Amino acid sequence: MTNREKFGSRATVIMAMAGSAIGLGNIWRFPFIVGEYGGAAFILVYILCCFLLSMPILLSESIIGRRTHQGTFGAMNTLAPGTAWKWLGLLTVISPLIILSYYSVVGGWSFAYLTKALSLQFKPENAESVIGMFATFSSTTWAPLACTAAFLVLTSVIVYLGVNKGIEKFSKISIPVLFVLIVVIAVYSITLPGAGEGVRYLVKPDFSKLTPGAYAAALGQSFFSLSLGVGTMLTYASYVRKDENILASASGTAFFDLLFAILAGFAVMPAVFAAGIAPSSGPGLVFETLPFIFSKMGAGGQVISAAVSILFFLTILVAALSSSISMMEVGVAYLVEEKKLSRHKATFLLFLVSLVIGVLCCLSFGSLSGIKLFGQTIFNFCDRLCSNFLMTIGALLFSVFVGWKMDKKAVRDELTNGGSLKGPGKVFPALYFLIKYVTPVTIIAIFLIGILA
């Protein structure tokens, strides 16, 4: 696979991987999960999960992808030909596509809310009606559908342009911009009157809130946030050059993802407390609570609050796009390498498939809300299926594959570039121990606790 595109440098590898990692998970999910499980104590558990469990999996995916320079299916077939591991390759082609479909619905909402912010709809006189606006908007038919489709078109255009001209270029610009934006919003939020309570909530741990369910939530969130278990990181790693230090790029990715999630916490929570709203108000936090806050605070400085609401929804949209492109790339790599389709045809085909599933997910907030799969709406079913099961199973199997199936020498070679990297060489025994024992055992334990709790 010598003619395969490659990321240009360490910085671009980290930007692309961090682009996949930083997304709706950081801005939309992380703050409300932190709210649900009691703030700072949960953040501490989350940080431990990231470094002890998620990092070894990110490394496992990086090892498999960079070793083979192939997408998930091809990689499994190359490293374990003729075995059942090919099913893991196939599963991880399908699961990112399902995620892409429902993720695009939320991506579409951020698109819609950006237009609402641009047309200055979050005004003090609208403050009370803003709360009901989300339920009304998401349950209508055409506007959310059009926004979902628009989001998928944007995703497809970037992927269509290729690894270097599309994904790499977009990530190189969007990631620094996202950090600037989230810092600006956090500063605004922290300086609102009454925000101090929200800051204390994020820094003062209350360990009594750490129920068994909190550990399962931390694990699930850290996998979702680092895009693990569904082959996206594996596929991106397949575009990494042989002389790159994958321990350094994985550490950089995990660090930036965590930093962004914490900054998003500071962008959202202090504003929520300033407006006197319960921090545990659930998934609506971003599309109901925050527009309400932007409207209400507008009384004190309308221009600033209008500008912040525009920046906020722009941040969500760009972050969502930098993730959705990674989901689509997994399927594109598969169709190009295994089915010999051109990149353009592969992108178009995946656009159509994710549009069809996306339409069903989108309508499950309105006209299809009566259709239930295992008691869940189509959207919730897809989300639960992927984030509670497929990602966890995929993550577990990737670490088992590297720890138990791959040759230990091949794993060491990949991490140390054939012995030439001294730092990774020194920490190899500890990392290998984490990948082989700690990660699989803890994932199984937390998974069972989450189910039984």
What amino acid is encoded at 396 in this protein? L
**Of 183, 134, 105, 93, nearest in space to 288 by CA:** 134
**Location of structure tokens 């998620």:** 54
The least CB distance from residue 231 to ligand PFF, in Å, is 7
Q: How far apart are CA 51 and CA 254, in angstroms?
A: 8
The least CB distance from residue 128 to ligand PFF, in Å, is 30
The least CB distance from residue 429 to ligand PFF, in Å, is 30
Q: Which of 17, 99, 258, 285 binds ligand PFF (CB under 6 A)?
A: 99
**Structure-block tokens of residue 151:** 């989001």
The least CB distance from residue 121 to ligand PFF, in Å, is 26
Q: How many helices and strands in the chain, by DSSP H and E?
A: 23, 0
194 Rama sector, left if φ>0, alpha if ψ -120 to 50, beta otherwise: left
Q: How far apart are CA 51 and CA 16, in angstroms?
A: 20
**Structure-block tokens of residue 298:** 């507008």
Site string for ligand PFF, 229-248 (x = CB under 6 A): -x-x----------------
Q: Which of 72, 174, 238, 323 binds ligand PFF (CB under 6 A)?
A: 323
Residues listed for the chain? 453
The least CB distance from residue 15 to ligand PFF, in Å, is 14
Which residue stretch of 6-14, 117-125, 161-169, 226-234 sits at the interface with ligand PFF (rule: CB under 6 A)?
226-234
Q: Which of 32, 224, 351, 447 binds ligand PFF (CB under 6 A)?
A: 224
**Contacts with ligand PFF in 7-26 (CB under 6 A)?**
20-21, 23-26
Which residue stretch of 117-125, 163-171, 220-228, 392-400 sits at the interface with ligand PFF (rule: CB under 6 A)?
220-228
**C-alpha of 172 from chain center:** 17
Q: Which of 126, 171, 289, 326 binds ligand PFF (CB under 6 A)?
A: 326
| 275/395 with CB nearer ligand PFF | 395
Give the binding-site size for ligand PFF (rule: CB under 6 A): 16
Give the DSSP letter of residue 422: H
**Contacts with ligand PFF in 171-210 (CB under 6 A)?**
none
The least CB distance from residue 98 to ligand PFF, in Å, is 10
End-to-end CA distance of the chain: 47
Interaction between residue 46 and ligand PFF (CB under 6 A): no
Residue in the shown chain whose Cβ atom is closest to ligand PFF: 25
Q: How far apart are CA 433 and CA 442, in angstroms?
A: 13
Go through 286-323 and write b for each residue having 16 or more CB atoms within 10 A of its CB, e for each that does not. Answer: bbbbbbbbbbbbbeeebeebbebbbbbbbbbbbbbbbb
Interaction between residue 260 and ligand PFF (CB under 6 A): no
| 25/298 with CB nearer ligand PFF | 25
- 3 state DSSP class of 209: helix
Binding site residues, ligand PFF, CB under 6 A: 20-21, 23-26, 96, 99, 224-225, 227, 230, 232, 323, 326-327
